[in-house]
Amino acid sequence: MPFRLAALILAIFCVGTAELSPSGMLDDLSADLAVSIATAGLLVTAYALTMVVGGPAVTALTTRVRRKTLLVALLAVFVLGNAVCALAPGFGVLMAGRVVTAAVHGTFMAVCVVTAGNMVGAGKGGGAVAATQLGINLATVLGVPMGSFLAQHYDWRAPFGVVAALATVAIGLVLAWVPDTPAPTVSAAHEARVFRRPSVWGTVGATVLCSAGMFTLITYMVPLLTGVGGLPRRWVPAVLLAYGLGSIVGNLLGGRFADRGIDRAVGQLSWALTAVCLLVWLLAPYGLAGAFALVLFSLATFALIPGLQAKVLTEASDAPTLSLTANMSAFGLGAALGSWLGGLLTESAAGTRAVPVGAAALTASGALLVLGLRRAARRTPQTLPIAVSPER
């Protein structure tokens, strides 16, 4: 892996930490802001919904901007949004900062993946996705536990301030290390034609459903650990650290599986994620056993993500940035749906205990859609290349 990818990995670490950290400190946000846990969970939902709308809009508006310039500009907006969160006096301002940050998330991640693909070479689409996904893994293994620790011992605003500072460092590294590439020569309208293909829409739909299953559980895994499993809150950062380690292993395995056969990898791993969600439901009341099941959940989740990203690149290799942004929006829509459903289940008579069952139902729906896509592909063979197309 080229060392210059470290600049992108650090930047993605910051973006991933900002996105995921509220899920690790819902209790602290709820107590300090005097809102319910489900209301605090709306910080995840609103972020995701903003990604859905903001990603394609920002991508369409910035199609002709040089890639390196665009990365730096998007990171600058990200720093601004997190500074607002760090200084927020209440829930409303905090939500506004989250919206600003989320607006650039999808485009930034898509440009990072395409840039990484150009840096590692053709034929390594899954590996390129996995390399950039390492930033999200590090956010899970370090960023989310860090946010939980700082929120418990200092203030929930501290993690946002730390992320803003690190993202400023990332801007300098991008300027120094990331090669400059020209903007695509094709227009956004031309790239949008790929969405006439049913296989592209099907892949995006599968991403929505699988992401919804992931975030139903991710958003409420801490209340599941403490409220259902009875784990002391001081143990939560350690469990989140183990969860993050599982995500790194899953990401490495997922990238390799995707490079060997994307369709098979996505199909098998989506069913594996469904099974693990049910295992979490089974073991959730048993403390450490439930924590172990959540580590397996992180492994299955992050093994599936590279395949979903690589598959949309396969189906729309002639429009990589827009198709990836759309898939990021699909992750955002799924995250919004999942966090909303998790909140409904938490406040229902079934309680937090039912959250893993809802997650399993959504991921099973995604797995069924993936199965349908595979069968359709067998009837109508695809001839598109499996590669990340350079934006030249």
Residue with tokens 């650290």: 241
Name all domains of the chain by residue range, CATH numbers in brackets.
1-179 (1.20.1250.20), 194-378 (1.20.1250.20)
The per-residue pLDDT for 108 is 94
For residue 154, what is the DSSP state?
T
User: Could you give the 3-state DSSP secondary structure of residue 70?
Assistant: helix
Instruction: Describe the crossing of helices 5-20 and 105-120 by its angle, rounded to 10 degrees.
Output: 150
Q: How many CB atoms lie within 10 A of CB 98?
A: 26
Ranking 8-17, 112-121, 242-251 by mean pLDDT, the lowest is 112-121
Q: Is the model's pLDDT at 386 over the cut of 50?
A: no
Give the list of residues 6+ apart from residue 244 with CB closer than 8 angstroms, or none: 137, 138, 139, 140, 141, 142, 144, 145, 298
Q: Confidence band (pLDDT; 50, 70, 90) for 188?
A: low
Q: pLDDT tens-digit profile of 151-180?
A: 888 899 999 999 999 999 999 999 999 988
Structure tokens given for 72: 């730096």
Residue 298 or residue 382, greater confidence: 298
Segment 287-292 mean pLDDT:
94
Q: Confidence band (pLDDT; 50, 70, 90) for 206?
A: very high
Alpha-carbon gap, residue 253 to 173, rounded angstroms: 28
The per-residue pLDDT for 286 is 94
